[in-house]
Structure 1
Amino acid sequence: MAVPAFDDNYIWLIQYPPRRRVAIVDPGDAEPVLETLGRTGLEPAAILITHHHGDHTGGVRDLLAHYDIPVYAPEDRRIPAVTHVVRDGDRVELPDLELTLEVMETPGHTLTHVVYHGDGMLFCGDTLFTGGCGRLFEGTPEQMHRSLSRIAALPAATLVYCAHEYTLANLGFARVVEPDSAALKARRAAAEASRARGEPTVPSTLAEELDTNPFLRSEDPVVVAAASNFAGQALKDPVEVFATVRHWKDTLD
């Protein structure tokens, strides 16, 4: 379940439908979460944090004032009230949800960013976005490219639950990179229709991202050619292509 927060954040509530318990992913603001829990009768079982930014952690302490639940997060002093530090390859057991999620370290957006995946779901914070990826505030292009490559190796049917409603803007840039892509044109039209109905465009599937997200397509000849044209020189290394496409988008934001 998506809980909208701020201008464009999504706080995710993971629920096993026969039960009323949920895990809360990246609660940047407690108020909309508390309102949703009160309205639906759901009860929190845990908090999962992907990275330290305030729009992902700002509601943790307020939620803990109401509920005594564990907080899973990467090792980072900037994240408040962590009870369980998670590292690459760890498994988060959520018995109330009959769910186990595996932790993957994905440095790039921040140095300590992690994602959680399992049961066909990926909660990826600000590493991978629908149609895009996070800015490199702390990490390097090499780190982010490797992180995205690891995500890209998950099953194509994986549902991508990112933390922001950035799809239309990201697809607009993707069409600058690949203007002749029929898949991009169709995805953009579908996303516009969803937003017109007031619906989230998230989650997507990893298959959609592999087909249309330029940050996962650094070896595609069309993306390589577009990045090379922007750079004014031939690019062959996928990391160089990724770094160029990321810089290209940064210049337009």
Structure 2
Amino acid sequence: MHVVPLPALADNYIWLLHDDDGHAIVVDPGEAAPVEEALYARKLKLRAILLTHHHDDHIGGAAALRAAHGAPVYAPDDERITVATHRVHDGDTLELAKPAARLQIIAVPGHTLSHIVYAGEGVLLCGDTLFSLGCGRLFEGTPAQMLSSLQRLASLPGNLLVCCGHEYTAANGRFAQTVEPDNTALQQRLDDVARLRAKRQPSVPATLSSELACNPFLRVDSEAVIDWCRRHGAANDDPVARFAALRSAKDVFRA
């Protein structure tokens, strides 16, 4: 399976997955044009559309793509996603014939209450729940829900490629450095990101194991993060409080 991030809108990524036989899946198409261009350039047939949550910058192009290609649209059970043809739920396994793919559905409430991710075939298609070096804002869920969702993702195989919905890595990394300034894995990741962005290349995907080593929102139990949270008023023995302190600080962070 080939994994291609398609830049869209201001800073979104639409994810295109395709095999060598010309069959493709598209994930979170916020607009149709980048997908149509990629399908044409690669001579691909669109076989399925996967959606992670209801925000328009992730579903805005789905209706046009469905109409143009007749592809089924898989989405969480959320009435705000009216374009869906198939609803998927936590614990389901989505099996597609063309391209051949077997994806686990995992519910990850936090950014939105109905957010899901798709995991399998070497990728973690995580929308706006997990970003490289960060996580999504809590528009509908609670810190406890988001932390639980991130912990579910953290338990997945470390070789999965984190395919997130936005190019936020450099900004996330600047905040992460304030939390763990001595994290050498984080510094190396930021050096790599700087080189990629200087060439106008995407900073993602990154492996889940890299995120576990660098992303403070996956590291609420590490000594450095616990120390930062203690200095910012979070209870030492409460991981939810630590996560909430991190998320609140990131919400107002400017650098």
What amino acid is the match of 2:78?
D
Q: 1:2 aligned to 5, 11, 16, which one? A: 5
Alignment of 1:88-99 (within 5 A): 88-99=90-101
What amino acid is the match of 1:191?
V
Q: CA-to-partner distance for each residue in 1:19-55, whole Å, 9 max, x for gaps?
A: 1011110001011111211222111000000000000
The answer to whether residue 71 in structure 2 is matched with residue 66 in structure 1 is: no
Distance 1:183 1:46 in 2: 36
Distance 2:166 2:120 in 1: 20
Who is 2:240 aligned against? 239
Distance 1:116 1:99 in 2: 11
Q: Does the CA-based 8 Å contact 1:13-1:25 persist in structure 2?
A: yes
Q: How far 1:80 sits from its partner (Å)?
A: 2.5
Q: Does the CA-based 8 Å contact 1:224-1:236 persist in structure 2?
A: no
Q: How far 1:234 sits from its partner (Å)?
A: 4.0
Alignment of 1:170-209 (within 5 A): 170-209=172-211
Distance 2:42 2:99 in 1: 17
Who is 2:159 aligned against? 157
Q: How far 1:154 sits from its partner (Å)?
A: 0.4
Gaps of 5+ in 1: none
Q: CA-to-partner distance for each residue in 1:171-200, whole Å, 9 max, x for gaps?
A: 110000011111111111110001111211
Give the match's secondary structure for 2:26: strand
Distance 2:221 2:240 in 1: 9
TM-score, normalization by structure 1: 0.97
Distance 2:158 2:61 in 1: 32
What amino acid is the match of 1:219?
D
Give the match's secondary structure for 2:148: helix
Paired positions, count = 251
Who is 1:221 aligned against? 223
Distance 1:234 1:138 in 2: 24
Distance 2:185 2:69 in 1: 44
TM-score, normalization by structure 2: 0.96
Who is 2:250 aligned against? 249
Distance 1:197 1:57 in 2: 28
Distance 1:4 1:19 in 2: 24
Q: CA-to-partner distance for each residue in 1:144-178, whole Å, 9 max, x for gaps?
A: 00000000000111111001111100111000001
Q: CA-to-partner distance for each residue in 1:115-170, whole Å, 9 max, x for gaps?
A: 00012210000000000000000000000000000000001111110011111001
Q: Does the CA-based 8 Å contact 2:48-2:73 persist in structure 1?
A: yes
Q: Does the CA-based 8 Å contact 1:37-1:43 persist in structure 2?
A: yes
Q: How high is the sequence identity, in percent, across the aligned residues?
A: 50
Distance 1:90 1:133 in 2: 24
Distance 1:187 1:28 in 2: 28
Q: 2:15 aligned to 12, 37, 40, which one? A: 12
Distance 1:212 1:171 in 2: 9
Q: Does the CA-based 8 Å contact 2:112-2:140 persist in structure 1?
A: yes
Q: Does the CA-based 8 Å contact 2:17-2:24 persist in structure 1?
A: yes
Q: How far 1:81 sits from its partner (Å)?
A: 1.5
Give the match's secondary structure for 2:53: coil
What amino acid is the match of 2:199?
R
Q: How far 1:69 sits from its partner (Å)?
A: 1.1
Distance 1:191 1:81 in 2: 35
Distance 2:39 2:189 in 1: 33
